[in-house]
Amino acid sequence: MKQRVGLDSALTVLAPVVWGSTYLVTTQLLPPDRPLLAAAVRALPGGLILTLAGRRLPQGHWWWRILVLGALNIGVFFYLLFVAAYHLPGGVAALVGSVQPVFVLLLSALLLRTAIRGWQVWACVLGTAGVGMLVLGPEAGLDTVGVVAGLGGAVCMASGIVLTKHWGRPPGVGLLTFTGWQLAAGGLLIAPVTLLGEGLPDRVTWTNLAGFAYLSLVGALLAYAVWFRGIERLPALTVSLLGFASPLAATILGFLFLREGLTLVQGAGAVAVVTAVLLAQRSTAREARVAQGAAGTPPGSTGAAGTPAGSTGVRPGAPVAAGTPTAAGTPTAAGTAAAAPAPGSPAGSPPATAPAHPVPPPEAGSVHPAPPTTEAGTRPAAHSPRQTTEGEQP
């Protein structure tokens, strides 16, 4: 169980790591001052490719659910993210967005009926503090519009995570098709705003095309498929805490490729972020083991009498004395009561054949209960001819 949770977490964290490279790709490969265009190109092409490849469209109530999920996870979230980036320094915008796990914690308690535990609160606080140490600089400032947009983006993403966990996937729909529906819906929401607010660039270079291809195929198509897989397999808060890896990856990539400085405070922030992620992963694995143990006794364990779980406590093939209860209660392995020798049979003769169905208990007031029948559907043994045992045969 621990290895499975660790593998799912390691695969899911790849999505925030890829998203952490968005800043580097945007500044080095894309046309300048086109954030909404980058968001639209990031979502729409990959969504259309996956939707066409799946050859399926939503049915019934899944139409409005996909519109809601596409808006929360992609469309409205991207728009609010870029509004916050325009009005706040990058570090402040990232810090405001890092409160997302807090909203996930509250929404999970409301919609998923999950209990709020102490380690979850500590992980949220530790991760948010780590992001603050990573990204905040001396130029940090606040702007009301930017802060509101940043908090709105965090609420959108948190709601998208919890609702994706709550609704799941439509029956028979693959993960890639489900991802394509959301990307296409979100991209279609962003496209009109992009055309009205920014327009298209005058010229597009091969470098720009390479950047757009990376954002669409890797940053959206692949990353969101991995992200939604993680939402299905891990608790919602654990997935949200893995999102702390995004500013960590952005800081490391900036240090490696853009020659940005890395201070001791940022190093301490990186340690805090990693600690929060590991705390979530280990706690999730421990709770999964506890839940598995509460669901049933593992194979090979022993019961109260020291016998293996599921055993009748009687050696196979050994006769069962009349009235002797088995390990599972009075029923035998065939689900019937242990049969006593038929009336009239000599001592030492084998017991009569057990009935195929349990004999109902005698009615109240009955002095002598009816003896067991020899076979299902036959008359009781008391009214049948005397049975011939193996010792009486010639």
d(CA 157, CA 266): 25
Residue 122's SS3 state is helix
Choice among 108-112, 165-169, 298-302, 370-374 with the minimum mean pLDDT: 298-302
Highest mean pLDDT among 95-109, 137-151, 177-191: 177-191
Q: Which residue has the tokens 């969101």?
A: 224
Quote the pLDDT of residue 389: 42
CB atoms within 10 A of CB 202: 6
Most confident of 145-149, 311-315, 339-343: 145-149
The predicted pLDDT at position 41 comes to 93
Q: Are 76 and 122 in contact (CB under 8 A)?
A: no
pLDDT at residue 17, rounded to an integer: 92
H helices present in the chain, as ranges: 2-12, 14-20, 22-29, 35-54, 62-70, 76-87, 90-97, 100-107, 118-135, 144-167, 175-197, 206-213, 223-233, 236-242, 245-257, 264-295
- 286/230: higher pLDDT: 230
pLDDT at residue 54 in the model: 93
Q: What average pLDDT does this structure show over 38-50?
A: 93
pLDDT at position 138:
61
265 has a pLDDT exceeding 70: yes
pLDDT at 348 over 50: no
Q: Is the pLDDT of residue 324 over 50?
A: no
Report the pLDDT averaged over residues 33-49: 91
Q: Which residues contact 334 (CB under 8 A, 6 or more apart)?
A: 354
Res 69: pLDDT:
97
Neighbours of 323 (CB within 10 A): 9
Average pLDDT over residues 115-125: 90
353-367: pLDDT as tens digits: 444 445 555 444 444
Distance CA 152, CA 149 (A): 5
- The total number of residues written for the chain in this structure: 394
Helix 62-70 vs helix 175-197: crossing angle, to nearest 10:
60
Q: What is the mean pLDDT of residues 97-116?
A: 91
Percent of the chain with pLDDT over 70: 71
Comparison of pLDDT for 10 and 347, the residue scoring more = 10
The pLDDT value recorded for residue 136 is 76
Q: pLDDT-derived band of residue 91, with 50, 70 and 90 as boundaries?
A: low
Local confidence band at 317 (pLDDT 50, 70, 90 cut-offs): very low
Phi, psi angles (nearest 5°) of residue 332: -85, -175
Name the least confident of 110-114, 131-135, 151-155, 341-345. Answer: 341-345
CA angle 208, 209, 215 (to 5 degrees): 90
Q: What integer pLDDT is reported at residue 393 of this predicted model?
A: 42
Which pLDDT tens digit goes with each residue over 202-250?
899 999 999 999 999 999 999 999 999 999 999 999 999 999 998 888 8
Looking at the predicted structure, is the pLDDT value of residue 336 above 80?
no
- Calculate ∠ Cα 89-92-94, nearest 5°: 105
SS3 for 365? coil
pLDDT grade, residue 139 (50/70/90)?
low
